[in-house]
Amino acid sequence: MNLQVKNLSVVLGKRQVLDAISFDIEPGQVIGLLGPNGAGKSTLMRALNGHIAAAGAMQLGEHDLAAIGPAQRARLIAYLPQQRTIGWRLSVRDLVALGRLPWRAFGQRPNARDESAIARAMAMADIAPLADRVAKELSGGEQARVLMARAIVQETPLLMADEPASGLDAAHQIMLMQSLKRLAAEGRTVLVSLHDLTLAARWCDQVMLLNEGKLAALGTPETVLSDENLAIIYGVTAHRAQDDQGLVIAPVGLRKASTGG
Amino acid sequence: MRLSISLTLLALALFVVSLLVGPAELSSGDSVAGLFAGGGEAAAIIMREIRLPRAILGLAIGISLGLSGAVLQGFLRNPLAEPGVIGVSSMAALGAVLVFYSGLAGSSLYALPAGALFGALLAVLILLAIAARQGSTLTLILAGVALSSLAGALTSLVLNLSPNPFASYEIIFWLLGSLKDRSMEFVAIALPLMAVGWFLISLSARAIDALSLGEEAASSLGIHMGRARFMIVAGVALSVGAATAVSGTIGFIGLVVPHLIRPLTNRMPSSLLLPAGLGGAALLLAADIAARIVLPAGELNVGVLTALIGAPFFLWLVVRARREML
């Protein structure tokens, strides 16, 4: 399903947090959502998921996202909020299983389809060995993987994850991006906000760069994460290298933006 | 499931014991005969008009309190939540107290429950109006606490202004909570309302499970937050409002029971609902039986007993299992 956004604007209080964002994304891709702190990455995801009021048009396939209710939205969009909340002492398995709620009728027990989705998501997030542990007692990185599995298990056409890589060790960051790639290969759209430029450059099919609520650039990592954009938008200089797997971008110093505003 | 079956058996056993205990010295045989036709005239009256309504109310009010505590703790993701915390019980109490004060209590049997229900309903309308504007769980807790304090203050004001010591005494006594001398009419008023409340609460099972992950995650799992909030607040208000209307305020059951039962479940908030209701019934029936045995003259109020045992027990629970509370 194509994700089409036209003139999406969000005002929180008196601040224009998103300013006339428009894009059209074909399915089957991992889209990296990048930008400095406060650029509007989380707001964009929250607006797409109906958590905050937004002006403009949002369309997923033939569905108008502003017009559908929570139950239908939950079968179209899985969303991992940045804030990691785990209430009660739930087991990892029970917590991941919550992601199947949108597909279950009231009072219905998980069926075979649910069970296989749960097993698959837990394998993708590399948490199968933690299945019987109390999620609350895991380390921060482990909790992040458990919550990611909860979103994956929803098996929706659009998966949005807000900083799923933060707190993950190097191996699990790579595993995460591999999993997202696999989900995209199944025809899903994966929208993921990242701070690590190399992760974005190597694993994302396209990168969406936000700056001060505006869409600064959208395209392949090579073009969007140019030295110029990094300097203007992030205010950094970076080392870059290319190997047969893709780009490596390591920020190394600060640079004042040359243009004002 | 096994837990629910055990608790059902326990509650039923206590229900039967409740029928057999009282100041009138009836043998078990006379009691059974009195309940199911036959038997002496006196036995039939005692059983059908005194002990049966008392046992039914103990069961139903216990379910209401346990269920409300469990659903509120799940909904607010707060182990300290209980029906009192959203102000419903204290507003119901205020409504009843006003009926006493105005002297309407003597005019009709229905005046007192009606006043309490009106108070509970008013609490719900205020809470929903506030929650609908703001829409966060925290707002609901804060509004509930404010409402509770206000109702408490107004109740004190009524006591202050009450025309004679006897009226104050009557009010205070009612506030202490009791199941004594409640007739079948009380059952007929309260039970249907409580049942509707239980039904509304049971509809929120999915919502409280999803809310384990926070409000945004729950909403992204397809939970209509506004609807869930309405069902829970209305369900708690109906069941606890009706309970308070006939029994006065009975504290601590809604708070303690979910904590007692939670470690026996898989900790999923929805799987706590039924066992907490049954556990609440068992605990209130047991407390009401104890209240009759400790002081056979029948002047010990069950609300006093539940608070007297409940509060220290809760403290012990907190000290023993601080980390396990959630």
User: Using CB atoms and an 8 Å cut-off, which of residues 216-275 of chain B contact chain A?
Assistant: 216-217, 219-225, 266-269
Run of H or E residues at B277: helix B269-294
User: CA of A70: how far to CAs of A5, A46, A76, A134, in Å?
Assistant: 19, 13, 10, 29
Domain-embedded: residue A82? yes
Q: Are A164 and A171 in contact (CB under 8 A)?
A: no
Q: What is the number of structural domains in chain B?
A: 1
Residue A261 within a domain:
no
The residue among B255, B253, B238, B124 whose CA lies nearest residue B191 is B238
At B191, the amino acid letter reads L
Tell me the range of A219-233, B149-163, B288-302 where mean pLDDT is highest: A219-233
Flag if A101 and B214 touch (Cβ within 8 Å): no
**From A123-137, A200-214, B282-296, the region with the lowest mean pLDDT:** B282-296
d(CA B300, CA B308): 11
Using 50, 70 and 90 to split pLDDT, how confident is the model at A115?
very high
Q: How far apart are the first and last CA of chain B?
A: 22
- What's the token pair of residue B75? 């909904």
Chain A residue numbers touching B71 (CB-CB < 8 A): none
Q: What CA–CA distances, in Å, run from A58 to A24, A44, A63, A64, A167?
A: 10, 11, 9, 6, 31
Residue A191 phi, psi dihedral angles, 5° rounding: -115, 120
By Cβ distance, the residue of B213, B224, B225 closest to A98 is B213
Q: Which of B221, B266, B324 is closest, CB to CB, to A102?
A: B221
Contacts of A85 in chain B (CB under 8 A): 212-214, 217
Angstrom distance (rounded) from CA A217 to CA A207 = 8
Which pLDDT does position A191 carry in this prediction?
A: 98
| Contact between B217 and A106 using a beta-carbon 8 Å cutoff | no
pLDDT value at A257 more than 60: no
Q: Residue A73: its chain B contacts at CB < 8 A?
A: 220, 222
Residues 124-143 in A contacting B (C-alpha not used; CB under 8 Å): 136
Q: Could you give the CA distance from residue B62 to residue A189 in angstroms, rounded to a whole number?
A: 50
Query: Residue B115 belongs to what domain range?
Result: 2-320
* Cβ atoms within 10 Å of A71's Cβ, excluding its own: 13
Q: Is residue A109 part of a domain?
A: yes
Write the DSSP symbol of residue A205. S
The tally of domains found in chain A comes to: 1
Instruction: Give the distance from residue A74's alpha carbon to the nearest chain B alpha carbon, in angstroms.
Output: 5
- Chain A nearest-CA distance from B2, in A, is 17
Dmax (CA) of chain A: 60
Does residue A38 form part of some domain? yes
pLDDT digits (tens, 9 = 90+) for A75-111: 999 999 999 999 899 999 999 999 999 999 877 888 9
Give residue B237's pLDDT. 87
Domain that holds residue A220: 3-254
The whole-angstrom distance between A144's CA and the closest CA on chain B is 12
CA distance B134 to B48: 49
Question: The CATH number of the domain where A196 resides is what?
Answer: 3.40.50.300
Residue A25 lies in a domain: yes
Q: Could you tell me if B79 lies within 8 Å of chain A, comparing CB atoms?
A: no
DSSP code, position A91? B
pLDDT of A256 over the 70 cut? no
Instruction: Please check whether residue B147 lies inside any domain of the structure.
Output: yes
pLDDT, average across residues A162-171: 96
What is the CB neighbour count within 10 angstroms for residue A252?
9
Please report the number of interchain residue pairs, chain A to chain B, with beta-carbon separation below 8 angstroms: 91
Mean pLDDT value of segment B54-62: 97
**Quick check: is A260 in a domain?**
no
* CATH assignment at residue B56: 1.10.3470.10
Q: Is the ipTM beyond the 0.90 threshold?
A: yes
Q: How close A22 comes to chain B (CA, Å)?
A: 23
- Interface contact B222-A71, CB threshold 8 A: yes
User: From the CB of residue A84, how many other CB atoms can be counted at a distance below 10 Å?
Assistant: 18
- Distance CA(A178)–CA(A78), nearest Å, equals 18
CB-based contact B212 A83, cutoff 8 Å: no
Torsion angle defined by CA atoms of residues B303, B309, B311 and B317, in that order, rounded to the nearest 10 degrees: -140
Q: CB of A208 within 8 A of CB of A218?
A: yes
Q: A86 CA to chain B: closest CA distance, Å?
A: 5
Residue with token string 């007297």: B308
Asked if the structure places residue A175 within a domain, the reply is: yes
Residues of B with Cβ-Cβ distance to A50 under 8 angstroms: 219
Q: Which residue has the higher pLDDT, B285 or B116?
A: B285
Split at pLDDT 50, 70, 90, the class of A186 is: very high
Residue with the two structure tokens 């450059």: A201
Cβ of A88 under 8 Å from any chain B Cβ?
A: yes
Best of B136, B220, B225 to disrupt the A interface (most A CBs within 10 Å) is B220
Asked if the C-beta of A113 comes within 8 angstroms of chain B's C-beta atoms, the answer is no
Inside any domain, residue B325: no
* Dist CA B162 CA B166 (whole Å): 9
